[in-house]
Every structure is written in C-alpha cells, then in structure tokens.
Amino acid sequence: VTPFAVITDDDGMKHPVFSYQLTPDIAIIDSSFCDKLPKSLVANAGVDAITHATEAFVSVAANEFTESHAIKAIQLLFDNLPMSYQKGDIKARENVHHAASLAGLAFSNSFLGITHSLSHKVGAAFHLPHGLTNAILMPHVIRYNASDSPMRMGIYPGYDHPVAKSRYAQIARSIGCSGSDGDELVEAYCQRIMDLMSELDMPMTFQEAGISEENFLRELDNIAIAAFDDQCTPANPRFPLTSELKLILLDAYYGRQVCSVNLNEEQATKLSVSA
C-alpha cells in the first residue's frame, strides 16, 4: 500500500526509492498468505511495522490523517503481535497484517525517520534482517528525538516547534503506559518496546545480534555518514549530526539505557570508561 521500495546496490548498500507512481491501484491484504511464516519473520516484520507507525506519528510531516492510522496500528500491534508469534493465532495474525497496512498508509504520507536511515545501513553492512535492526535501534532513537530543545530541529512547513516528546507520550498513553510527565512516558514506551522484543525472543543489542565489536567500530563512521544522506533522515523531528548518529549506534551496540547525545561531558566520560 506504499509508494516506497528499497534497492540494494552492487556494493550491498540499501537505497530507499520513493514515488507515488509505485503505489498500487489495488492491494490484496489477506493474512492467510502469512499463516506459515517462520516465527523469526513474524517477529521482525511485526516490530518493523511498529517502527513504521512510530516514526510516522512523530515525523515533521505528520498530520491528522496519518496520526489516526499510525496510532491504531501501534495499538493493534502491541495487542496482537505476541499471540501471533507465540501461538500463530489466526485472528491475531490477521490483526497484525491489518496493522502493518495501516502503518504503511501512515508513513506513505508522513514518511519515516533516522531509525530507518540507520537500519538501512546497518542491515546492509552486517546482513541483519531489517525488522531486527529497526527494533534494536528504535528505543535509542526515541530517547534521542524526545528533546524539547534539540540542537537542530527537523524542518517542514507547519512544523514550527519540537513536539516529538509529547507525541511519544501520546503513543505511550494509547497502549496503557503511565508516567507523571513526558520524560517518564517516553521511557515507559521504550521499555514496552524492549519488553515486546523479549517476548519475541529478539536480541536487544547489535552485540547480542552477533556483530563483533571490531567489525562494528570499523564500519561506524561509514554507516553514520551514509545514514545522514538517507532519504528518511529529513523527516526526522530532530535533525542529526553525523557525530550524534555515531553515538546512537554505539548506544544500540552496547545496549546503553541512556541517550549518550544528551549527556554532559562528565557523564559521557564515565559512560565511555564503563563501556
């Protein structure tokens, strides 16, 4: 249902392609095609859809039409993905299939963000499933984006002040998370994502996913630079520096439960020493 495609070039690099001419006239949304999917694909594709909906909801281009599709998709996915994965329940799998389509409608019109920018490049470099790389990155990108005073805000007509934190808080409330303020709700949503990943038997870090530290650090600069130029980056609510993308990648590799970009110099030094 989307106007997007991803092409992998001869060097293994993934490039998203966007054109409304790619949008189908008719889409057959029949979950019976997915009845016999391997469990790992159910998990990876399901969390990929959560990433689609989450990034669409906080995008600089988000609007009333995309927000309604995105929030319903997120609710359906958190409610049904565990049962679809664990039991292969037919109704749960149908709801996940519908939710993935709703998420596609959302990001077709409000686009994505740097979770996908980074995921495209990490997946190409280390041959990991796209949904898995999205899942590992998403909590770290959420923490990065959820700032009321970013160094550089995403730019789009009508997007005149940072609202990512309040939008993540909306998502958190919609799936039953609680918190006394936006910061607590953002962290509660990150925790719900990680809890879901645990239910789906997914690795929580790139290190756990089998990437060696030596290989990851060797590719770090190239991945960050390529992600900065990815087509998904401009719609992100916080416009990143390549140095910030590197820190997000390191957080995702080591599984740090803080956003290193937001730390002061003393905190960052302590974190570096502990790592």
pLDDT, tens digit, 9 for 90 and up, residues 69-120? 999 999 999 999 999 999 999 999 999 999 999 999 999 999 999 999 999 9
Which tokens in the block code for residue 26?
A: 């008719």
- The DSSP output letter for 241 is P
Going by pLDDT thresholds of 50, 70 and 90, the confidence category of residue 208 is: very high
Closest Cα partner for 58 from 126, 99, 114, 104?
114
Going by pLDDT thresholds of 50, 70 and 90, the confidence category of residue 265 is: very low
Beta strand spans in 121-222 (E) = none
User: Higher pLDDT residue, 16 or 19?
Assistant: 19
Q: What is the pLDDT of residue 157?
A: 82
Least confident piece of the model among 24-28, 87-91, 124-128, 141-145: 24-28
Which tokens in the block code for residue 48?
A: 């990929």
For 222-249, write each residue's pLDDT tens digit: 999 999 999 899 999 999 999 999 999 9
Average pLDDT, the chain: 90
Q: Decide: residue 68, CB within 10 A, 0-12 exposed, 13-18 middle, 19+ buried.
A: middle
Least confident piece of the model among 15-29, 36-50, 127-141, 206-220: 15-29
Q: What is the pLDDT of residue 98?
A: 96
Is the pLDDT score of 128 beyond 70? yes
Is the pLDDT score of 20 beyond 60? yes
Q: What is the residue type of 10?
A: D
Q: What is the pLDDT of residue 200?
A: 97
Q: Measure Cα distances from 47 to 77, 105, 132, 162, 234 in Å.
A: 8, 16, 8, 25, 22
Is the pLDDT score of 275 beyond 70? no
Which tokens in the block code for residue 54?
A: 């989450």
Which tokens in the block code for residue 18?
A: 């966007």
What percentage of residues in the chain have a pLDDT greater than 90?
73
For 170-197, write each residue's pLDDT tens digit: 999 999 999 999 999 999 999 999 999 9
Q: What is the pLDDT of residue 43?
A: 96
Strand-pair partners of 14: 8
Which tokens in the block code for residue 248?
A: 């997000």
Distance CA 63, CA 31 (A): 28
Least confident piece of the model among 18-22, 82-86, 165-169, 236-240: 18-22
CB atoms within 10 A of CB 208: 12
Least confident piece of the model among 48-57, 71-80, 121-130, 256-265: 256-265
Which tokens in the block code for residue 221?
A: 């600069």
Q: What is the pLDDT of residue 5?
A: 85
